[in-house]
């Protein structure tokens, strides 16, 4: 196996391996007994702002999480926002996937982490409207409170940085806040 270069190089598999391998070793070596794997899903309703016109977002979502005995939570969430045609803007889709770390109890969980979004939507700036399509990095936070066993309420917030210059997206930022019912499945 090739050794890590003395100077860090940009790109290349050796550079990636040298940066990622120590993290993987730490995760494998540190004992963290699992308390539970859980699946969750729901449909949220809320608002998305990309450009100057807020949009209604109907967001089916799924997640898988792993909670340690100390309450530390590792999760992957996927939110698929459907943006109906409103206020002169056509329909669109915005899919956001995140890897998160947080804390969980029997009745609640909180997680935050980086995300990656893929989108195709009509947005409007101050003077122009147009379709934007692309991929954007961002951040995600989610709070879930379980009221009656596996049934609960979830609140999610996403902030994505849409790169490049655009007349229709002058700020280069898209924000989404959605809330709704959630159901979880997992061992008791």
Whether 104 is covered by a domain: the verdict is yes
CATH of the domain at 134: 2.40.160.20
Whether 24 is covered by a domain: the verdict is no
How remote is the C-alpha of 183 from its chain's centroid? 18
CA neighbor of 155 nearest in space, from 93, 85, 79, 55: 79
Whether 3 is covered by a domain: the verdict is no
DSSP 62-76: EEEEEEETTSEEEEE
Inter-residue contact 47 to 57 (CB < 8 Å):
yes
Residue 166: what pLDDT?
64
Whether 25 is covered by a domain: the verdict is no
Whether 169 is covered by a domain: the verdict is yes
Secondary-structure breakdown of the chain: helix, strand, coil percentages, each rounded to the nearest 5: 10, 65, 25
When divided into structural domains, the chain yields a total of 1
Has residue 111 got a pLDDT over 50?
A: yes
The more confidently predicted of residues 25 and 137 is: 137
Q: What residues make up the domain containing 173?
A: 33-185
**Which residues have a Cβ under 8 Å from the Cβ of 32 and sit 6 or more positions away?**
68, 70, 72
Give the percent of the chain with pLDDT over 90. Answer: 49
pLDDT bracket for residue 55 (50, 70, 90): confident
Whether 21 is covered by a domain: the verdict is no
Q: Where are the alpha helices (DSSP H) in the chain?
A: 13-29
pTM for the predicted model, two decimal places: 0.74
pLDDT tens readout for residues 131-181: 888 899 999 999 999 999 899 999 999 999 876 666 666 667 889 999 999
Whether 20 is covered by a domain: the verdict is no
Whether 176 is covered by a domain: the verdict is yes
């Amino acid at each position: 196996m090739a050794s890590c270069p003395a100077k860090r190089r940009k790109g290349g598999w050796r550079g990636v391996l040298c940066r990622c391998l120590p993290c993987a070793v730490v995760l494998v070596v540190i004992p963290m007994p699992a308390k539970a794997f859980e699946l969750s899903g729901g449909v949220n309703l809320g608002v998305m702002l990309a450009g100057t016109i807020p949009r209604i977002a109907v967001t089916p979502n799924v997640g898988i999480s792993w909670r340690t005995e100390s309450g530390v939570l590792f999760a992957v969430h996927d939110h698929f926002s459907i943006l109906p045609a409103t206020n002169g803007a056509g329909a669109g889709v915005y899919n956001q996937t995140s890897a998160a770390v947080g804390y969980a109890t029997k009745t609640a969980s909180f997680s935050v982490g980086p995300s990656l979004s893929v989108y195709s939507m009509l947005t409007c700036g101050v003077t122009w409207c147009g379709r934007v399509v692309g991929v954007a990095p961002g951040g995600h936070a989610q709070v879930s409170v379980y009221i009656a066993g596996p049934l609960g309420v979830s609140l999610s917030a996403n902030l994505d940085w849409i790169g490049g210059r655009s007349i229709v997206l002058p700020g280069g930022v898209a924000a989404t806040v959605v809330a709704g019912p959630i159901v979880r499945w997992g061992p008791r």
